[in-house]
Structure 1
Amino acid sequence: MIIYKTREEIELLRKAAQVVSRTLGKVAEKIEPGVTPLELDRLAEDYIRSQNAVPGFLGLYDFPNSLCISKNEQVVHGIPDNTPLKEGDIVSIDCGAILNGYYGDHAFTFAVGEVDDETQKLLDVTKECLYLGIEECRAGSRLGDIGFAIQNHAEKHGYGVVRELVGHGIGKEMHEEPQVPNYGKRGRGKKLKEGLVVAIEPMINMGTKAIKQLDDGWTIITRDKQPSAHFEHDVAIVDGKPDILSTFDYVEEALEKKAKVHG
C-alpha cells in the first residue's frame, strides 16, 4: 500500500533528507587517495548524530555501518573497510538518516582524484539519468515513465541498467511502496499522485546489466567487473510537480573548494 504524505510530512522528510545531504557534503570534503571507507563511515555517523538524527542504515536489516560505500565494480551495499581509496577509483556513498521519525536516503558517486574520460562519462550520464527520471515524477504520470526515461538515456550510451535493485517509497520506513524500477515502458505501472514521496536511484553499469552478490551477504558487484555508478534523490510530488527534498549542493560546494585548492 502506498502511503501518501501530507505537506507537513513532506517538510519533515525534507529535513531528514537535508541531514543526509549535509553529511554527504562532509564526506565529500574528505574523499581523496589514502582515506579509508571506515574513516568516512565514522565521520558520517558522528555528523548525523550531531544533528540530533540517527544513522538510518546502521542496524537496518542488520547492516553493520552508517554508510554503504561501493568502489568501482561494486554497485551498491558495499561494507566500509580499512582499504585506502586509490587515485582513479570511483566510490558510491549511500547514506541514510532518521530525524523526527522520518527517513532521508541519498547517494552520490565520487571520483577519487582524477579518473579517465570513460569513467567520468559514466558518472555524468548516471547523474543525468537521475534528473531525467525525476522530471517524470509528476501527478498523472506512471511509474513506467520514470523507468523509461532512465533506461532510455543509459542504454543510448551503451550502458547496462541494473534490474534487481530499484528505488522505493520513503517515509517512516526506509523502504515503502511503491518500488521504482530504473527501467520500464511509458504509460505502464501505477499512476503517480500528489503526496507521493520516493527515492529515485539509478544504478548504471559501464558494461552488462548483470550483477551478483558477494559472500559477505551485502556487496553487489557487476558480473563483468566493469565500473558502476549510483546517484539518488528523495523526491515528493507537490502541486503536481517533482520537488527534490535532498540536494547535491553541499557535495558540489565541497568538490569546488577542493578543485580550487588543487588547481
Structure 2
Amino acid sequence: MFFNLYRNTHISSLISYSWLQFLTKQSFCSSAAKTTTTGKNFGSYNIIKPEFHTPQLEIAMESGIVMPSYHFNGEPLTPPLTPEIKTESQIRLMHESCKLARFVLDCIAEHIKENMTTNDIDVFAHELIINNGAYPSPLNYRGFPKSICTSVNNIACHGIPDGRPLASGDIVNVDVTVFLNGYHGDCSATFCIGEVDAPGKSLVETTQKALSAAISIVKPGEYFSTIGSIIENIAKQNNMRVVPSILGHGIGAHFHEPPDIFHTKNDYPGKMEPGMTFTIEPVLTHGNGDVVMLEDGWTIVTEDDSRTAQFEHTVLVTDEGYKVLTY
C-alpha cells in the first residue's frame, strides 16, 4: 500500500509523495511508549514512538529468486496510466502470489504474541517468503528498509519493524506483500495482543466488517467510488472515522498501479471491469482521522494519538462479481 496517500486536510486533491512528506513531516522521537487514558473514549493503550531499527535484511543474488527492478535502486518502474485488464495467465500468476501472501500472514497469526518484537516478525516473514521462492515486496521499495510493515496502536500505516516488544493491550497491523513469478500479492490484518480493551476490540471488529462489506459490492459495472461510501457509512454507524489519506490500489506486475481505491465518500471516476485486480484496505480510528508523517519518511501516525485498525485483501473482478485472491 506504499505511497497511496491522500491528504484531505486543507488540501483537496491528490498530491505527490514528496509534497506529502514535506507537508506532514514531524519530529522523529524514540522515547519510551506511555499508557494513556483519554476523555475521548479512545481507551487505554500504549502510544507508540518508533524504536531503534535493525539493519536491512539482504537477499543473495545466487538465491535464484526473481527480484523486482527496485530491489537494485529503490525505484519502481512506471505503472500504466489506466487499470490493467489481466489475462487468464496473469490471473493465475497473481493467484499464486496472493496465496503465498495469505500463507505468510496466517503463519504470522499463529506465532505473534506478547513480548515478541516487530523486528522478530519481520525476520520470520522475510525467511518464510524467501524459502518459498518469492521476494518480500516492501524491501527497498523506494528505500523502505524492511520486508513487511508493522503498525502498532496509533501508527496508522507504514510502520517500520523495530525492537519494541509487543505488550498486552496492543493492536498491531501486519501488512504482507510478496513478489512471486513477476506478480505481487498483498494482504494485511490487525491482531490483538493479550488483553485488549473494549474500544480496541470494537475498532478491530468494525474495520474487518467494513472491508467485508466493501468487497461484497465488487462487480462489473460498479463504480470504484461506491467502495468508499460503504466503508465510511459503517465507520459512522459505529462512531468511528476512516483515515482518508490511506488508499487501496491496483496491483499486478506493479506493486501500485491504477485504480486508486478511496475508503471515504468520493467522486473518483471509473467503473469496475472483469480482469481488474486491486486492494481494498481501510484504516479506521476513534479519532479525527488526521495523520502526520514522522521524520523517518515512512511512519504515518494519527495526529491525536488515537488507535487505528486495518484489514486488506487483493480482489479480482470476475464476470459474475468478485474473487478474493488473498483468502
Structure-to-structure mapping, 1:139-158, within 5 angstroms: 139-158=220-239
Question: Does the 8 Å contact 1:162/1:209 carry over to 2?
Answer: yes
Counterpart in the other structure of 1:246: 326
Q: CA deviation at 1:216?
A: 1.0
Q: Does 1:50 align with 2:170?
A: no
Letter of the 2:207 counterpart = T
Structure-to-structure mapping, 1:161-180, within 5 angstroms: 161-180=242-261
Could you report, residue by residue, the CA deviation over 1:62-95 in whole angstroms, capped at 9, with x for unpaired residues? 1000110010000100000011000010000001
Unpaired segments ≥5 residues, structure 1: 248-263
Unpaired segments ≥5 residues, structure 2: 1-81
- 1 or 2, which has the higher helix percentage? 1
Structure-to-structure mapping, 1:97-246, within 5 angstroms: 97-184=178-265, 189-246=269-326
Question: Does the 8 Å contact 2:246/2:282 carry over to 1?
Answer: no
Q: Within 2, Cα distance between the matches of 1:8 and 1:114?
A: 45
Q: CA deviation at 1:189?
A: 2.5
Per the normalisation by structure 2, the TM-score is 0.74
Give the fraction of aligned pairs with identical amino acids, expressed as a percent.
Answer: 35
Q: CA deviation at 1:184?
A: 1.9
Letter of the 1:244 counterpart = V
Q: Within 2, Cα distance between the matches of 1:218 and 1:188?
A: 26
Q: Within 2, Cα distance between the matches of 1:140 and 1:215?
A: 42
Counterpart in the other structure of 2:14: none
Question: Does the 8 Å contact 1:163/1:209 carry over to 2?
Answer: yes
Q: Within 1, Cα distance between the matches of 2:88 and 2:239?
A: 40
Question: Does the 8 Å contact 1:193/1:240 carry over to 2?
Answer: no
Q: CA deviation at 1:188?
A: 6.1
Name which one, 1 or 2, has greater alpha-carbon Rg. 2
Moved over 4 A (4+): none
Per the normalisation by structure 1, the TM-score is 0.91
Letter of the 1:130 counterpart = L
1:66 to 121, 128, 147: 147
Counterpart in the other structure of 1:3: 84
Counterpart in the other structure of 1:13: 94
Indicate the RMSD between aligned Cα atoms, in angstroms: 1.1
Counterpart in the other structure of 2:23: none
